Amino acid sequence: MPYSFDYFKDDVKMHIMRNIPHYAKVLDVGAGSGKYGVMLKGYFDSIDALEIYHPYIDKFDLHSIYTSIFCGDVVDFDISEYDFIILGDVVEHLELKVAQNLIGYIHNANKKCLVAVPYQMEQGEVDGNKYETHLQSDLTKDNFIEKYPYMKLLFANDVYGYYVNYEFI
Protein backbone atom coordinates (compact mmCIF):
# COMPACT_ATOMS: atom_id res chain seq x y z
CA MET A 1 0.00 0.00 0.00
CA PRO A 2 1.23 3.54 -0.52
CA TYR A 3 1.11 4.11 3.24
CA SER A 4 3.48 2.94 5.95
CA PHE A 5 2.89 2.24 9.61
CA ASP A 6 3.26 5.17 11.99
CA TYR A 7 5.38 3.18 14.46
CA PHE A 8 8.50 5.08 15.58
CA LYS A 9 8.04 7.95 13.07
CA ASP A 10 8.96 10.64 15.64
CA ASP A 11 11.93 8.56 16.82
CA VAL A 12 13.08 8.06 13.23
CA LYS A 13 12.79 11.77 12.49
CA MET A 14 14.89 12.63 15.57
CA HIS A 15 17.42 9.94 14.64
CA ILE A 16 17.78 11.34 11.12
CA MET A 17 18.17 14.89 12.40
CA ARG A 18 20.95 13.75 14.78
CA ASN A 19 22.79 11.59 12.25
CA ILE A 20 22.26 13.01 8.74
CA PRO A 21 23.25 16.62 7.95
CA HIS A 22 20.56 18.94 6.55
CA TYR A 23 22.60 19.49 3.39
CA ALA A 24 22.67 15.75 2.51
CA LYS A 25 21.12 14.90 -0.84
CA VAL A 26 18.19 12.56 0.00
CA LEU A 27 16.30 10.05 -2.15
CA ASP A 28 13.02 8.62 -0.86
CA VAL A 29 12.55 5.37 -2.78
CA GLY A 30 8.98 4.13 -3.10
CA ALA A 31 7.61 7.46 -1.97
CA GLY A 32 3.99 6.25 -2.07
CA SER A 33 1.89 8.83 -0.26
CA GLY A 34 4.94 10.97 0.54
CA LYS A 35 5.09 10.28 4.27
CA TYR A 36 8.87 10.62 4.59
CA GLY A 37 8.92 13.73 2.40
CA VAL A 38 6.30 15.41 4.58
CA MET A 39 8.02 14.25 7.76
CA LEU A 40 11.43 15.60 6.73
CA LYS A 41 10.43 18.66 4.72
CA GLY A 42 11.99 21.75 6.22
CA TYR A 43 14.97 19.86 7.62
CA PHE A 44 16.72 18.81 4.41
CA ASP A 45 17.63 21.35 1.76
CA SER A 46 16.51 18.88 -0.92
CA ILE A 47 14.54 15.61 -0.95
CA ASP A 48 13.91 13.74 -4.20
CA ALA A 49 11.49 10.87 -4.68
CA LEU A 50 11.55 7.73 -6.79
CA GLU A 51 8.16 6.08 -7.27
CA ILE A 52 7.66 3.04 -9.48
CA TYR A 53 3.87 3.39 -9.82
CA HIS A 54 3.13 6.53 -11.81
CA PRO A 55 -0.50 6.99 -10.64
CA TYR A 56 0.75 7.65 -7.08
CA ILE A 57 2.68 10.73 -8.27
CA ASP A 58 -0.52 12.58 -9.12
CA LYS A 59 -2.81 10.88 -6.60
CA PHE A 60 -0.65 12.04 -3.68
CA ASP A 61 0.55 15.29 -5.33
CA LEU A 62 4.18 14.27 -4.80
CA HIS A 63 5.35 17.31 -6.80
CA SER A 64 4.24 19.52 -3.90
CA ILE A 65 6.30 17.48 -1.41
CA TYR A 66 9.59 16.65 -3.15
CA THR A 67 12.23 18.69 -4.97
CA SER A 68 12.28 16.27 -7.92
CA ILE A 69 10.13 13.22 -8.71
CA PHE A 70 11.33 10.28 -10.77
CA CYS A 71 9.18 7.41 -11.95
CA GLY A 72 11.08 4.15 -12.21
CA ASP A 73 12.60 1.11 -10.56
CA VAL A 74 15.32 1.63 -7.96
CA VAL A 75 17.22 -1.33 -9.43
CA ASP A 76 17.80 0.71 -12.62
CA PHE A 77 18.16 4.13 -10.96
CA ASP A 78 21.47 5.99 -10.59
CA ILE A 79 21.88 6.76 -6.89
CA SER A 80 25.40 8.18 -7.26
CA GLU A 81 24.43 11.79 -6.47
CA TYR A 82 22.64 10.90 -3.23
CA ASP A 83 24.05 10.73 0.30
CA PHE A 84 21.07 9.22 2.12
CA ILE A 85 18.65 6.67 0.67
CA ILE A 86 15.31 5.93 2.34
CA LEU A 87 13.85 2.52 1.49
CA GLY A 88 10.59 2.83 3.42
CA ASP A 89 8.42 -0.22 2.79
CA VAL A 90 10.36 -1.17 -0.35
CA VAL A 91 12.54 -4.19 0.44
CA GLU A 92 9.60 -6.54 1.00
CA HIS A 93 8.43 -5.80 -2.57
CA LEU A 94 11.71 -7.04 -4.08
CA GLU A 95 12.93 -10.59 -4.57
CA LEU A 96 15.51 -11.51 -1.92
CA LYS A 97 18.58 -11.55 -4.19
CA VAL A 98 17.55 -8.30 -5.89
CA ALA A 99 17.07 -6.58 -2.52
CA GLN A 100 20.35 -7.99 -1.16
CA ASN A 101 22.20 -6.72 -4.23
CA LEU A 102 20.56 -3.30 -3.92
CA ILE A 103 21.43 -2.88 -0.25
CA GLY A 104 24.94 -4.20 -0.90
CA TYR A 105 25.37 -1.71 -3.74
CA ILE A 106 24.13 1.19 -1.60
CA HIS A 107 26.41 0.19 1.25
CA ASN A 108 29.48 -0.36 -0.96
CA ALA A 109 28.88 3.01 -2.62
CA ASN A 110 29.24 4.57 0.87
CA LYS A 111 25.65 5.83 0.89
CA LYS A 112 23.77 5.95 4.16
CA CYS A 113 20.53 4.01 4.05
CA LEU A 114 17.40 3.71 6.18
CA VAL A 115 15.20 0.66 5.61
CA ALA A 116 11.71 0.23 7.06
CA VAL A 117 9.93 -3.12 6.71
CA PRO A 118 6.78 -4.79 7.96
CA TYR A 119 7.24 -8.23 9.50
CA GLN A 120 5.54 -11.38 8.26
CA MET A 121 3.04 -9.54 6.12
CA GLU A 122 1.41 -11.17 3.12
CA GLN A 123 0.15 -8.77 0.48
CA GLY A 124 -0.85 -9.04 -3.17
CA GLU A 125 -1.79 -6.40 -5.70
CA VAL A 126 -3.58 -3.35 -4.30
CA ASP A 127 -6.04 -1.53 -6.56
CA GLY A 128 -4.45 -3.10 -9.63
CA ASN A 129 -0.91 -2.12 -8.64
CA LYS A 130 1.24 -5.22 -9.09
CA TYR A 131 4.19 -3.49 -7.40
CA GLU A 132 2.36 -3.68 -4.08
CA THR A 133 2.89 -7.47 -3.92
CA HIS A 134 5.15 -8.59 -1.08
CA LEU A 135 7.83 -10.92 -2.38
CA GLN A 136 9.43 -11.23 1.08
CA SER A 137 6.51 -11.79 3.40
CA ASP A 138 8.68 -13.86 5.76
CA LEU A 139 10.76 -11.01 7.18
CA THR A 140 11.18 -10.86 10.96
CA LYS A 141 13.27 -8.75 13.30
CA ASP A 142 15.85 -11.53 13.53
CA ASN A 143 16.02 -12.86 9.98
CA PHE A 144 16.25 -9.38 8.45
CA ILE A 145 19.76 -8.99 9.89
CA GLU A 146 20.69 -12.49 8.66
CA LYS A 147 19.50 -11.65 5.13
CA TYR A 148 20.94 -8.12 5.15
CA PRO A 149 24.15 -8.22 7.21
CA TYR A 150 25.11 -4.61 6.38
CA MET A 151 22.09 -3.39 8.34
CA LYS A 152 21.77 -2.61 12.05
CA LEU A 153 18.51 -2.55 13.99
CA LEU A 154 17.38 0.95 14.86
CA PHE A 155 13.78 0.53 16.14
CA ALA A 156 11.37 -2.40 16.06
CA ASN A 157 8.29 -3.98 17.54
CA ASP A 158 6.58 -7.24 16.58
CA VAL A 159 5.04 -5.69 13.45
CA TYR A 160 7.57 -3.28 11.97
CA GLY A 161 11.27 -2.49 11.97
CA TYR A 162 13.77 0.21 11.01
CA TYR A 163 17.36 -0.53 10.08
CA VAL A 164 20.38 1.54 9.02
CA ASN A 165 23.72 0.68 7.42
CA TYR A 166 25.85 3.17 9.40
CA GLU A 167 27.05 3.87 12.91
CA PHE A 168 24.76 6.23 14.78
CA ILE A 169 24.48 8.22 17.97
| Calpha distance 118→113 (Å, rounded) | 17
Q: What pTM value is reported for the model?
A: 0.93
Rounded Cα distance between 102 and 97, Å, is 8
Position 2 pLDDT exceeds 60: no
With a pLDDT cut of 90, the percent of the chain lying above it is: 82
131 has pLDDT over 80: no
Question: What domains lie within the chain, and their CATH numbers?
Answer: 9-164 (3.40.50.150)
Three-state DSSP at 84 gives strand
- Written as one letter, the residue type at 118 is P
pLDDT per residue over 60-85, tens digit each? Answer: 999 999 999 999 999 999 999 999 99
Per-residue pLDDT band at 12 (split at 50, 70, 90): very high
